[in-house]
A and B are shown apart, each in its own frame.
Chain A
Amino acid sequence: MRNLTRSLSGRLSLWIVLFAVAIFIATLGYMYFVLQKAVRREAVNGATRELENTVLRVNVILEDVELLADNLEARIYKDLDNPDKMMEYSRDIVVNNSFLNGCSISFEPYFYPSKGKYYSCYSNNNGRTVYTQQEGNEQYQYFYLDWYLLPKLLHQPCWTEPYTDQEESDDATMDATMSVSYCKPLIGNDGSYVGTLSLDISLEWLSETISAVKAYPNSYSIVVSRGGTYLVHPDNHKLFYQTIFTSQLINPDPELWNLGQAMLAWDDGMQVIKVNGQSNFVFYKPLMTTGWSVGIVCPESDIFGGFHRLQNVVIAIVILGLLLMFVVFSRIIWQQLDPLRTLAIQARIIASGDFTAKLADTRRTDEIGVLSQSFNYMQESLVNYIQELTSTTAKKERIEGELQIARNIQMSLVPNVFPPFPDRKDIDLYAFMSPAKEVGGDLYEYFIQDDKLHFCIGDVSGKGVPASLFMAITLSQFRTLSHQGLPPSEVARQINDVISEKNDQLMFVTLFIGQLDLKTGRLEFCNCGHNPPILLKEKPEFMECLPNTPIGVCAGWAFEGQVLENIGSTPILLYTDGLNEAENSRHEELGNDRVLAILGQEPYTDAGALVQRLRKAVAAHVGTAEPSDDLTLLCLSLRR
């Protein structure tokens, strides 16, 4: 199943089939409900018709018996004074009606004084002959028997419960046949009871007539008497010896109990009962005046057999159809999605770097066709893009190469050999410059001319190439003007004039220019908007500087210089804002206070050590953050 649902075709087919299943279930369920009701209705109608026909057939015979009894009764009353006539009547009716087993015209004890206590005129047809006799005697006191007593007590004709009708012999029970009697009371003119007229018939014909009813292949008929005794039943063990309630004496069965009560109550209807675990429909109807009830027991499997077979066939067809549908849909969807799979393979090839791979040509105009065309377009675009990217990358690499050269050039523009004046013991100087990008806008310079140390440090606005070019110009100007022996303020003024003249980009540079007389310790300087240097006294402090504007802002601007008459051996630290404004990843600056604190932590030994210490402090503060600005440090001191 996982493999099945892994593919799109499998999933789509499964969804379609599941949807179809839902529709089929709803449709078949409704059909099942409606058809079952129809089949049930038809079964009820059919069985009821069959039952009515059976009852009619049985009633014809029973009515014949009752009609004969009525006729005979009239003749008995007519000749009631002639007891011997009764023998004749008894015999005639049996002889003339072969379906009668016997006829008894029995009288109350001593009704005919001449006949004594017993007078029962009985004729019997044993199948071979008809014999007639007076059967009452001390051993056979007929007036205690139910066939005699029932009409007497009920004051109306009635049918007896079944009994064995046997010939007089010791093994009589072996030849016994089951019979029932229709009994009529004989009432005298004074209302006194005269006797009972009884006509006997065998139950065999009843069993034959009713058993012949076959509403369904496995259906069978039953007849129960007024006392619930089975008069007709396919199971011989139950016939005559058991009632419909017998089994319930030890195993109560509410369904069977209700059926029995309904049949005994002479109801007309249908009930469903379980027989051996199988549902059976029992249709029942009373039998005329007998007090009996006829039932047809139809197994549900028979009634709904055809319907269930049809249902099973339909379900089988539906299942096969759904399976077929699944297979066909899977195949069709698989085929329809074939270009997609090809596309996927080609996409993988392209993704692996083969941008020239040829895409399958599809003429389809559907979504897959559009996707294929889009993919084609994407491939072309990708090829173009890659080509552009290649070109751009080459350009970038070239620029980067040039930038690296520019960096090397820029770094070579500033003095970077230390110690810078190996032949002079009176000056200790160390400088360091690190652009934030390939090239930067910081600068520094120093040289000795006429025992004077000329130096400067500056910071061009902005970064990168423009700043580096601006730095180179500034540096070049400084060198040229300083070598002319001009004082720092004049140097600053002239640089400013030169730069400001063609400064279309409105850039500027902060610059600190100094001249240190190595012999006297006199420092003349001009600070053009640059960070004030730090005097590394016992407690480091910023130099007092005049607030000149940076260079390049406006031509013709005058810069005011300053003088410290003798700095002695106090080291001076010059720096750009890459030091005090160095930012960490949280954009926290190192700050002037902390710079001063770092400087005051350890006593000054030499310029190189100090610069390296500051570099480490800055690196520790910045951490993994990108350098926010160029960093330049220059430290100098006179050795005495």
Chain B
Amino acid sequence: MKRQPLLLCAFALLLCASLPAQNRKAAPLVFTPQWTAQAQFAGYYVAKEKGFYDEEGVDVVITHPNVTQSAIDRIRADRSHATTLQLVQAMKIMDEGIPLVNLLQTSMNSAFEFISRREVNPVGQKGAKVAVWTGFTDMVKAVAQDLNMDCQWIPAASSVALFVAGAVDASAAMTYNEHYQIRQAGFILEETAIFRFGENGYNIQEDGLYVTRDYYNKHKDQADKFARASRRGWEYAATHPEEALDIVMAYVDRNHIATNRILQQLMLKEILKLQLDPDSGVRAFTLRPDMVQQACDLLLRCGIIRKPVTLTDLSR
């Protein structure tokens, strides 16, 4: 039996099994975003469906992680060539010895937040049980450590289910995902119950498009075209959100994702908002040196990475 909770299936995404081998003869670029199909990856779906990849002359195949294999595992196994990662995830993977290249930086702001079940600052609850994902918790734990949070982490596949049932006092959440899932469960989220990383000195960029340095060196032209078309996809999604949402929902339905159009609509809106540079207000699609430096400092300070990762290390 594999019981897949409807609200979230993070756990399954990080656990791997074998996947049927991809057809290598066509040598397509296999892109696997780090999560199941949702509006978080709308720009890539739009680029694919609107033919932007074809126009660039790059054959992109989009596959999603499932219960058997996560995206980064597919990269490691060379079954996928590109994925999306948060900046701190990328830094940690690089620290572990896999050089990565940031092809495109979509996120310009942090979407992390802590949400409390009670109308109190979730960071200040001593001994509180805080639900976190079973993967990519580095950023959450780094910030908690930096803030000297006194809490008990509850790793869970579905933090929202625990939160709704009252099994935890607070939960880590993304502003574009769990935030709306919790509100969808009938919760009124007061401002006092939310601790947004971005508003509290931890506004660090998240999602970016990555390939291994090795792959980039071998397929530089293809990777550059892929990045260019992907950016075009995001820009189109920003100007045609309804059409982008239709495309997202087609992917959602095709992959039998337990979500709904309204959640995806809100997610797309929030994702597009997070793509605006906090200073210039434009979609820059680049890593900001200050944020890279801040992420590096934070991870070093918390012992998550052992040596600095610079903007140069990440750049093409």
Q: Which residues of B contact A144 (CB under 8 A)?
A: 11, 134, 155-157
A145 and B5 form a contact (CB under 8 A): yes
A240 touches which of B164, B184, B258 (Cβ 8 Å) = B258
Shortest CB–CB separation between residue A582 and chain B, in angstroms? 109
Q: Which residues of B contact A229 (CB under 8 A)?
A: 6, 185
- Given known pairs A153-B129, A249-B266, the reply for A260 and B186 (CB within 8 Å) is yes
B262 contacts partner chain A, Cβ-Cβ < 8 Å: yes
Most chain-B CB neighbours within 10 Å: which of A124, A158, A168, A241? A241
B2 and A168 form a contact (CB under 8 A): yes
B26 contacts partner chain A, Cβ-Cβ < 8 Å: no
B165 and A145 form a contact (CB under 8 A): no
A161 and B161 form a contact (CB under 8 A): yes
- Given known pairs A144-B134, A145-B11, A245-B184, the reply for A165 and B262 (CB within 8 Å) is no
B154 and A244 form a contact (CB under 8 A): no
Q: CA of A247 to CA of B157 in the docked complex: distance in angstroms?
A: 25
Shortest CB–CB separation between residue A247 and chain B, in angstroms? 7
Shortest CB–CB separation between residue B267 and chain A, in angstroms? 11
Shortest CB–CB separation between residue A304 and chain B, in angstroms? 30
B184 and A150 form a contact (CB under 8 A): no
B11 touches which of A104, A141, A246 (Cβ 8 Å) = A141
Q: Which of A117-156 contact B (CB under 8 A)?
A: 122, 124, 135, 138-141, 144-147, 149-150, 153-154
Shortest CB–CB separation between residue B15 and chain A, in angstroms? 4
A228 and B186 form a contact (CB under 8 A): yes
Q: Which residues of A contact B160 (CB under 8 A)?
A: 227
B310 contacts partner chain A, Cβ-Cβ < 8 Å: no
A150 and B258 form a contact (CB under 8 A): no
Number of A-B contacts (CB under 8 A): 140
- Given known pairs A135-B1, A250-B262, the reply for A149 and B156 (CB within 8 Å) is yes
Q: Which of B14-45 contact A (CB under 8 A)?
A: 15-17, 20
A241 and B258 form a contact (CB under 8 A): yes
A139 and B184 form a contact (CB under 8 A): no
Q: Which residues of B contact A228 (CB under 8 A)?
A: 184-186
Q: Which of A327-384 contact B (CB under 8 A)?
A: none
- Given known pairs A140-B15, A240-B6, the reply for A227 and B161 (CB within 8 Å) is yes
A566 contacts partner chain B, Cβ-Cβ < 8 Å: no
- Given known pairs A139-B67, A227-B185, A260-B186, the reply for A163 and B3 (CB within 8 Å) is yes
A241 and B6 form a contact (CB under 8 A): yes
A403 contacts partner chain B, Cβ-Cβ < 8 Å: no
B167 contacts partner chain A, Cβ-Cβ < 8 Å: yes
B266 and A164 form a contact (CB under 8 A): no
B90 contacts partner chain A, Cβ-Cβ < 8 Å: no
B102 contacts partner chain A, Cβ-Cβ < 8 Å: no
A166 and B4 form a contact (CB under 8 A): yes
A165 and B266 form a contact (CB under 8 A): no
B201 contacts partner chain A, Cβ-Cβ < 8 Å: no
A173 contacts partner chain B, Cβ-Cβ < 8 Å: yes
Q: Report the nearest B residue to A138, measured CB to CB.
A: B15
Most chain-A CB neighbours within 10 Å: which of B1, B5, B258, B260? B1
The 0/1 profile, CB within 8 Å of B marked 1, for residues 380-411 of chain A is 00000000000000000000000000000000
A139 and B161 form a contact (CB under 8 A): no
Q: Which of A163-199 contact B (CB under 8 A)?
A: 163-168, 170, 172-174, 176, 179, 181
Q: CA of A172 to CA of B265 in the docked complex: distance in angstroms?
A: 27
A514 contacts partner chain B, Cβ-Cβ < 8 Å: no
B303 contacts partner chain A, Cβ-Cβ < 8 Å: no
Q: Which residues of A contact B260 (CB under 8 A)?
A: 237-238, 241-242, 246
Q: Which residues of B contact A161 (CB under 8 A)?
A: 5-7, 158, 161, 164-165
Q: CA of A260 to CA of B183 in the docked complex: distance in angstroms?
A: 12
Q: Which residues of A contact B11 (CB under 8 A)?
A: 141, 144-145
- Given known pairs A154-B166, A174-B256, A240-B6, the reply for A149 and B154 (CB within 8 Å) is yes
A243 and B166 form a contact (CB under 8 A): no
Q: CA of A228 to CA of B265 in the docked complex: distance in angstroms?
A: 20
The 0/1 profile, CB within 8 Å of B marked 1, for residues 468-508 of chain A is 00000000000000000000000000000000000000000
The 0/1 profile, CB within 8 Å of A marked 1, for residues 146-166 of chain B is 000000001111101110111
Shortest CB–CB separation between residue B98 and chain A, in angstroms? 20
Q: Which residues of B contact A122 (CB under 8 A)?
A: 1
Q: Which residues of A contact B262 (CB under 8 A)?
A: 242, 246-247, 249-250
- Given known pairs A144-B134, A149-B167, the reply for A250 and B161 (CB within 8 Å) is no
Q: Which residues of B contact A257 (CB under 8 A)?
A: 186
The 0/1 profile, CB within 8 Å of A marked 1, for residues 163-179 of chain B is 01111100000000000
B156 and A140 form a contact (CB under 8 A): no
- Given known pairs A146-B157, A146-B158, the reply for A102 and B1 (CB within 8 Å) is yes
Q: CA of A227 to CA of B5 in the docked complex: distance in angstroms?
A: 13
B145 contacts partner chain A, Cβ-Cβ < 8 Å: no
A264 contacts partner chain B, Cβ-Cβ < 8 Å: yes
B217 contacts partner chain A, Cβ-Cβ < 8 Å: no
Q: Which residues of A contact B1 (CB under 8 A)?
A: 102, 104, 122, 124, 135, 165-168
Q: Which residues of A contact B7 (CB under 8 A)?
A: 161, 227
B180 and A153 form a contact (CB under 8 A): no
- 14 other A-B residue contacts (CB within 8 Å) besides A139-B15, A140-B15, A238-B260: A138-B15, A139-B17, A139-B68, A140-B67, A149-B154, A153-B162, A164-B6, A166-B1, A174-B256, A227-B164, A229-B6, A243-B184, A245-B184, A246-B262
26 CB-based A-B contacts, threshold 8 Å? A104-B1, A138-B15, A139-B15, A139-B67, A139-B68, A145-B3, A145-B157, A149-B162, A149-B167, A153-B154, A154-B166, A158-B165, A161-B6, A161-B164, A176-B4, A226-B164, A227-B164, A227-B185, A227-B186, A242-B184, A243-B184, A243-B185, A245-B183, A245-B186, A257-B186, A264-B186
Q: Which residues of A contact B (CB under 8 A)?
A: 102, 104, 122, 124, 135, 138-141, 144-147, 149-150, 153-154, 158, 160-168, 170, 172-174, 176, 179, 181, 200, 226-229, 237-238, 240-247, 249-250, 257, 260-261, 264, 291
Shortest beta-carbon contacts, A-B, top 9: A153-B167, A139-B15, A146-B161, A173-B256, A227-B185, A227-B164, A146-B158, A144-B11, A241-B260
Q: Which residues of B contact A (CB under 8 A)?
A: 1-7, 11, 15-17, 20, 67-68, 129, 134, 154-158, 160-162, 164-168, 180, 183-186, 255-256, 258-260, 262-263, 265-266
